Amino acid sequence: MAAPRERILLVHVVLHGEADPDAGAEFFHLATDSGADVLELLSVQRGRPDPATFLGRGKVAELAERVAALSVDLVLFDRVLSPVQERNLEGALHCRVVDRVGLILDIFARRARTHEGKLQVELAQLTRLRTRLIRGWTHLERQRGGIGLRGPGETQLETDRRLIGERILSLRGRLIKVAAHRATQRRARQRAPLPTVALVGYTNAGKSSLFNTLTKSSSYAADRLFATLDPAIRRLQIGGHEAILLADTVGFLRDLPTDLIAAFRATLEEVNQAQLLLHVVDGSAPDRDAQIAAVDEVLKEIGAENIPRLLVLNKVDITGDVPGNVYESSGKLAAVRVSARSGVGIPELLQAVTQRVGRSMLRADLTLMPEEGALRARIHCLASVIDEHFDEQGRTHLTFDIDDLNWRRLHTQMRDSGCQAMDAPPTIPADG
pLDDT bin (cut points 50, 70, 90) of residue 257 is: low
Digit-coded pLDDT (tens) for 260-310: 676 666 567 668 778 889 999 999 988 888 889 988 988 888 888 888 899
| Per-residue confidence (pLDDT) for residue 314, from 0 to 100 | 95
Of residues 345 and 408, more confidence is placed in: 345
Of residues 28 and 403, more confidence is placed in: 28
| Per-residue confidence (pLDDT) for residue 173, from 0 to 100 | 87
Identify whether the C-beta of residue 227 lies closer than 8 Å to the C-beta of residue 75.
Answer: no
| Per-residue confidence (pLDDT) for residue 147, from 0 to 100 | 45
| Per-residue confidence (pLDDT) for residue 11, from 0 to 100 | 93
Digit-coded pLDDT (tens) for 73-83: 999 998 888 88
User: Bridge-partner residues for 245, per DSSP?
Assistant: 196, 235
Digit-coded pLDDT (tens) for 98-119: 888 888 888 777 777 677 778 8
User: Which of these, 216, 256, 250, 214, lies nearest to 232 by C-alpha position?
Assistant: 250
Please report, as a single letter, which amino acid is at residue 330.
Answer: S
| Per-residue confidence (pLDDT) for residue 358, from 0 to 100 | 61
The C-alpha angle 53, 58, 60, rounded to 5 degrees, equals 45
